[in-house]
Amino acid sequence: MTSHKNKDKHPHKETDSSSPEVVYSGEPAVAPTEEMDPAAVGVSRETEERSAASLSEQLRELLNEKQELTNTLIRRQADFENYRKRVEREREQERRRAVETLVERLLPVLDAFDRALAAPGALGQAEYRKGFELIQRQLWDALSKQGLARIESTGKEFNPHFHHAIERVETSEYASGMVIEELQPGYLFHERVLRPAMVRVATAPEPKSAHASTREN
């Protein structure tokens, strides 16, 4: 009977042998750290350096490729611009040649007008002459707008680029080498000689010999 009462007085004093015993200490527990292998660290750094060098090399190659493409594009643009200008210049030259051919074929018409108006007694009626001059002026205006210009000859110094000397006349009234008469007008087309002017040119008289002077006396 006594043993049963003792059990009832202390019902919570029973201990569980399966529970682990917890022991507290003043220092916290530290997990053990793994030591790094120096060789492994060196390999890792070397790999990173190689990777960085490879990326830097790729970047340089890409920049060089970009510069080459840019230079190629600039050259292509310059070539195209030169081609466009050359085509435009050739078209303009072809157009001028066509106009020049037409103008050259019309020069005899201008000559005919000049001769008709210069002939003595021709076109005696004033109204008829006025109409003739009007037609000549209209034709000349149309041609001059296309680039035709008349070469100035009479009273100018002879220029072989613009004048074609038909005759040399000995005279003391004009300086030697001066154009004294225009036989056929010359024309420029866009500042290029389309037809030189046919002219007479003054030349200084030859000095008389002493024998000729004696005979004259």
C-alpha to C-alpha distances, 168 to 59, 185, 190, nearest whole angstrom: 82, 17, 30
In a domain, 178, yes or no: yes
- Kindly tell me if the per-residue pLDDT of 157 is higher than 90: yes
In a domain, 201, yes or no: yes
Cα separation, 98 vs 73, whole angstroms: 37
* Domain presence at residue 213: no
Q: What is the domain count for the chain?
A: 1
- Residue 138's pLDDT band, with cuts at 50, 70 and 90, is very high
Task: Give me 205's structure tokens.
Answer: 């008289």
User: Does 169 fall in a domain?
Assistant: yes
Model confidence at 51: pLDDT above 60: yes
Residue 46 belongs to some domain of the structure = no
Q: Quick one: pLDDT at residue 23? A: 47
Whether the CB-CB separation of 158 and 199 falls below 8 Å is answered with: yes
Mean pLDDT calculated for residue range 199-208: 87
- pTM for the whole structure: 0.57
What CATH number is given to the structural domain containing 161?
2.30.22.10
Query: What are φ and ψ of residue 125, in 5° steps?
Result: -75, 130
Is residue 39 in some structural domain? no
More confident position, 151 or 12:
151
Residue 50: what pLDDT?
Answer: 78
For 188, the 3-state DSSP assignment is strand
Instruction: Tell me whether residue 190 is in a domain.
Output: yes
Range of the domain at 174: 148-206
Q: Each residue of 56-65: pLDDT tens digit?
A: 888 888 898 8
